[in-house]
Structure 1
Amino acid sequence: MKKRSILLVDDSQDMLEVLRRQLNALQYNTFQSTSVTDAIDLLQHARIDLLITDMRMPGLDGMHLVKYAKSNFPDLPVLVITGFPSVSGAVEAVKSGALDYLSKPFTAKELQQAVQQVFRQQDGKTDTTVSTATEEEQTIDYHGIIGQSQPVMELIDLIERIKDTRATTLIQGESGTGKELVARAIHYSGPYRQAPFVTVNCGAIPEHLLESELFGFVKGAFTGANETRPGFFHAADGGTIFLDEIGNASAAVQTRLLRVIQEKEVKMVGTNTVQKVDLRVIAATNSDLYTLSQQGQFREDLYYRLHVIDLHTPPLRQRKSDLPLLIRHFLDKYAKSYGRPKPGVTPEAMHRLKAHDWPGNIRELENAVQRALILCDGQIEVADLPAYLHAADHTLRTAQPQALLSLREMEQQHIRRVLDAVDGNKTAAAKILGINRKTLRIKLKE
């Protein structure tokens, strides 16, 4: 069964965050909007199963949204929230099409009961929000996303729901889980597939250059600016810009990004002239931006602007049923690339591949399969796999007694395994380990 999606509308970012966390904990997908205008755009382009809206909003109020939903989406259930002692406004909303209302303040349990009651009422009228297995759910290759496990199917379902909208999207997940692949799937599965898709790695561009690369610059803006040059935002006009590792953007860049997202306006470095752009912004990070925003390390208002739609790429250890499909995919890919016959995989080698937790995720698996194909003679055996997969006790779940190690020795072994998994890439290893490159260098010297 696919997850249901709920659109949350409230002018308070704090309230939206509370609702989002509570509903995500109940296994619902959530979209957030702070205005009726943006909410209407999401209703028009995304697949929504329930609308939850506050009544009093700046500009167009919640009553306008309820009446709009009733007129244009008559089968969409609506739950209204009121923060006033008198619920007359909420009652009027119910008469206008809402199924129920909640009075502030309410508990997480009361929210859960209200949402479940709305869906029960709706399911009594129609079962269109609950779908059975279809060909779409059996998809194993969706714009390069390989898999048919539940986490992958839920991710594909959410992409399908948002692909037709230009709503700002934040993709969060561990390094190597395919965040850029998801961004490309959003772009190329939607109506803007013929427009540009521009990728910017905010962590790979030096901080002092990122601003001018993103926004462009005019001649004479700084030393070395010998000509006027448009930036990445200009290049993505009409399409999608993908800002990878957004957590590495400087405070100055974050401030300017906020204006681009809010106003769809860009100012090149060295001029005050404003240029309009029409694009979708997709950002990605392997950091916890919410925690960083609460600690003052990332702009809170920018976090909420990026967080209209929130996607999570599952780590490989949570979708191990997809391993055979992924291995087959990479074997096909590299056998064709190297002009070699596709090898088989011995049961023992497959066992080692399935038992590993893959801290480097899909990137680590792809490297391991590529290496094995190059080294194998007809079929892939254990000896063809990376060294850290050779030992029978590499999962630490063997029946044989193991030597007792000190914490320092265990740390050293873990660091070596992670470095092996990412082919010695210290930046990627540091992210997986949760430390910075300087700390990793010190530990390597030790």
Structure 2
Amino acid sequence: MSGSGRGRVLVVDDDGDLLASTCEWLGATGFSVEGEALGSAALDRLKADPAAVPDVLVTDIRMPGLDGIAVLEGVLKLDPDLPVVLLTGHGDIALAVKAMRAGAHDFLEKPYDADHLVAVLDRAVAQRRLAGEIRELRLRVAGGDALESRLIGNDPEMAELRRRVAHLADIDADVLIVGETGTGKEVVARALHDCGKRADRPFVAINCAAIPETIFESEVFGHERGAFTGALGRRVGKIAHADGGTVFLDEIESMPQALQTKILRVLQERQVEPLGANRLQPVDVRFIAATKADLKQRAAEAAFRSDLYYRLSTVELHLKPLRRRRQDIPLLFDHFVKASAARHGAPLRPIRPETLAALQAAEWQGNVRELKAEAERYVLGYSQLAAPPAGEDGSLPARLAAYEAEIIRQALDTARGNVAEAAEALGIPRRTLAEKMARLGLKRDRLAAEA
């Protein structure tokens, strides 16, 4: 059955003239339509080619052989989500109501209004597609596909992280994500939200280090009109705005202790009190916090409230720095390069072995975020660390020479063309570096000018 933007319909009716006119009308209104005169033939079609199953099936009730009720029962066994619309005669209303209770989507009494049939089919197609999207999402989450496209890596700890995120997504336990800057803490938080039951509600990120303490309460808890000078109207706070969804408290270690007390109260009571209000407002939110610090140690040093730490850390997820999972660097870099090339409409440049070697040798203090920025520069032609070598010679000596030239070029760039400083940084005599530069065609004056 060919595809259609409006939907695919299979019509079953033993009245040949009515079947032809129904198919013709639905086809004219934008549906992709096929017809069968027998209920048994319709079921055989569905069994033979599952890929061609329609979005909705329309069947007459009174037919020789398998009647409409038997077709309904057979369809629901094959595909419980397939909407079935029954066409009934005047004396079949009670039978149609019984069929509705058995799982039919709707029924129309003959002679039916053609426009009404189209409206019923539009609703049925919408229901079918929504059910398909939900089923696909569940399968992707269960199979890890959705998470593998977000939490990328073959490192065993990354696989375990994906498993834990899939398990925790539908659980309302508060989560503390611990990791260095750039390891992807917000990516993990969004995965917990997007793959869970709160996905259709807001995800509200609050950077605890970016909001000045003087306006923190107003921004996070909200305020009433006249609560302070300049409060000209009522403002819904970020936590109340996230009702039904997720609040992400990023850089929680930067939150002043006075505000930690207020956040703790919200975590415990799931209520907020806007500034200037004399009432508590219930909120249904899940809290996910992130930190690059050792909060347990900070709590022991009285630099962070211990009760808030223990309240936040119902479950802790620890993210490894990129330098401790170097085997994932080629996979991540390739992913970021493809995404950046698609975004900028740029051609994909081959990533050569010496380029990957340079990437894997780097320290990546900025972790995945820094690698992503390097991929962006690579696509735009501004990368130095990951710059592909000139020429098309793919031999091992040529690749080694290109890699060596790139390392020397980086050292000279850092030293602003000073050969002595570059040689010291590389741990080789100045004369050796000069000889290598001559052999590789690297000129100090040009490098200094480029720097």
Which SS does the other structure have where 2:223 is aligned? coil
Structure 2: how far apart are the matches of 1:235 and 1:389? Answer: 53
Letter in 2 for 1:303: Y
Q: Which has the larger radius of gyration?
A: 2
Letter in 2 for 1:221: A
Structure 2: how far apart are the matches of 1:343 and 1:185? Answer: 30
In structure 2, the partner of 1:181 is 187
The alpha carbon displacement at 1:399 in A equals 12
Task: Classify 1:141/1:374 alpha carbon distance in 2 versus 1 (closer, same or farther; 3 Å).
Answer: farther
In structure 2, the partner of 1:199 is 205
In structure 1, the partner of 2:388 is 381
The alpha carbon displacement at 1:371 in A equals 0.8
Structure 2: how far apart are the matches of 1:390 and 1:209? Answer: 48
Residues 148, 322 of structure 1: 8 Å contact kept: yes
Task: Classify 1:389/1:310 alpha carbon distance in 2 versus 1 (closer, same or farther; 3 Å).
Answer: farther
1:225 to 231, 236, 241: 231
**Higher relative contact order by CA 8 Å / sep ≥ 6: 1 or 2?**
1
Structure 2 length normalisation: TM-score? 0.54
Which SS does the other structure have where 2:289 is aligned? strand
Residues 203, 246 of structure 2: 8 Å contact kept: yes
In structure 1, the partner of 2:152 is 146
Letter in 1 for 2:379: L
Structure 2: how far apart are the matches of 1:227 and 1:370? Answer: 43
1:338 to 344, 352, 356: 344
Structure 2: how far apart are the matches of 1:389 and 1:368? Answer: 19
1:249 to 226, 249, 255: 255
Task: Classify 1:388/1:312 alpha carbon distance in 2 versus 1 (closer, same or farther; 3 Å).
Answer: farther
Structure 2: how far apart are the matches of 1:276 and 1:210? Answer: 19
| 1:311 lines up with 2:317 in the alignment | yes
Task: Classify 1:280/1:389 alpha carbon distance in 2 versus 1 (closer, same or farther; 3 Å).
Answer: farther
1:228-274 CA distance string (max 9 Å, x none): 10100111111101010111111221111111111111101122310
Structure 1: how far apart are the matches of 2:273 and 2:291? Answer: 25
Which SS does the other structure have where 1:241 is aligned? strand
Q: Which 4+ residue blocks in structure 1 deviate beyond 3 angstroms?
A: 135-141, 382-385, 387-394, 398-403
The alpha carbon displacement at 1:382 in A equals 5.7
Task: Classify 1:226/1:388 alpha carbon distance in 2 versus 1 (closer, same or farther; 3 Å).
Answer: farther
In structure 1, the partner of 2:38 is none
Structure 2: how far apart are the matches of 1:239 and 1:150? Answer: 30
Which structure carries more helix by proportion? 2
Gaps of 5+ in 1: 1-134, 404-446
Residues 143, 185 of structure 1: 8 Å contact kept: no
Which SS does the other structure have where 1:145 is aligned? coil
Task: Classify 1:140/1:318 alpha carbon distance in 2 versus 1 (closer, same or farther; 3 Å).
Answer: farther
Task: Classify 1:222/1:245 alpha carbon distance in 2 versus 1 (closer, same or farther; 3 Å).
Answer: same
1:371 to 377, 400, 414: 377
Letter in 2 for 1:147: G
2:427 to 401, 417, 425: 401
Instruction: Tell me the number of residue pairs that the alignment of Structure 1 and Structure 2 aligns.
Output: 266
The alpha carbon displacement at 1:298 in A equals 0.9
Residues 356, 389 of structure 1: 8 Å contact kept: no
- What is the root-mean-square deviation of aligned Cα atoms in Å? 3.1
1:342-394 CA distance string (max 9 Å, x none): 111222221101111211101111111111211179x9416999x98954799
Structure 2: how far apart are the matches of 1:349 and 1:164? Answer: 41
Structure 2: how far apart are the matches of 1:348 and 1:296? Answer: 49
Q: Percent identical across equivalent pairs?
A: 42
Which SS does the other structure have where 1:283 is aligned? strand
Gaps of 5+ in 2: 1-140, 391-401, 415-421, 430-451
In structure 2, the partner of 1:13 is none
| 1:302 lines up with 2:308 in the alignment | yes
Structure 2: how far apart are the matches of 1:141 and 1:325? Answer: 15
Structure 1 length normalisation: TM-score? 0.55
Which SS does the other structure have where 1:372 is aligned? helix
